[in-house]
Amino acid sequence: MVLPIVAYGSPILKKEAEEIDENYEGLDQLIADMFETMYEASGVGLAAPQVDRSIRLFIVDASPFAEVEEGEEPDPMAKGLENFKKVFINPIIEDESGEEWAFAEGCLSIPKIREEVMRKPNIKITYYDAAWNFYEEEYEGYAARIIQHEYDHIEGILFTDHLSPLKRRILKKKLTNISKGEVDAPYRMKFPNLQKKR
């Protein structure tokens, strides 16, 4: 089932999410619904708070990023994306390293806005998958970037929180409009400050 995506301005997006355990009810269905929702919205990552669940869970599928056009050099930042479809439960980013790099990020909760965010290129993360197997892995480039963005969601952080005060001021009106539902997103959303049409 496709779930509505919670829009910018919703308190749940600013909240630190809770860990879950194996008894969390309906987890398999929730994960299936999250993948359906993410694909429907053409996203590469989706965190549980974005579908109104304040739990430490996010999913990614960035395999489209791995495609190399004929005659084109493979993008070194796209390393490891071929099978980058994963479920992260109770993840902990243990370490981030390397020199910060800029990448224009977007977010399904903040439609039609993309801004450059600086992040470190290498991460070490521990997490459980949907079958509760435990992993300790390292990621780099776009894979690390997507994980860092989704991980922020379960910490109550949005990519706009990483922008300069000036950039944020410039975006303020657009962000307010998004929270009121005054944005044309090509997928179903839930707006915190929806204004009744007169």
Task: Write down the least CB distance from residue 111 to Ni ion, Å.
Answer: 11
The residue from 94, 116, 150, 182 that is catalytic is: 150
Is 96 a residue of the active site? no
Task: Write down the least CB distance from residue 21 to Ni ion, Å.
Answer: 25
Among the residue ranges 33-41, 102-110, 125-133, 175-183, the one whose residues contact Ni ion (CB under 5 A): 102-110
Q: Which residue is nearest to Ni ion (CB)?
A: 107
Token readout for 19 is 């860990």
Eight-class DSSP state of 98: S
Q: Which 57-76 positions form the footprint of Ni ion (CB under 5 A)?
A: none
Q: Is 7 in the site for Ni ion (CB under 5 A)?
A: no
Q: Nearest-5° angle of CA 2, CA 50, CA 159?
A: 135
Question: Which of 120, 76, 118, 117 has the alpha carbon at shortest distance from 94?
Answer: 120
Q: For the window 104-123, what string marks contact with Ni ion as x by the rule CB under 5 A?
A: ---x----------------
Give the nearer residue to Ni ion in terms of CB position, either 13 or 81. Answer: 13
Give the nearer residue to Ni ion in terms of CB position, either 6 or 76. Answer: 6
Q: Which long-range contacts (CB under 8 A, 24 or more apart) does 19-22 make?
A: 19/55, 19/56, 19/90, 20/55, 20/56, 20/57, 20/89, 20/90, 22/132
Is residue 109 within 8 A of residue 8, CB to CB? The reply is: yes
Please give the residue ranges that form the binding site for Ni ion (CB under 5 A): 107
Catalytic residues: 150
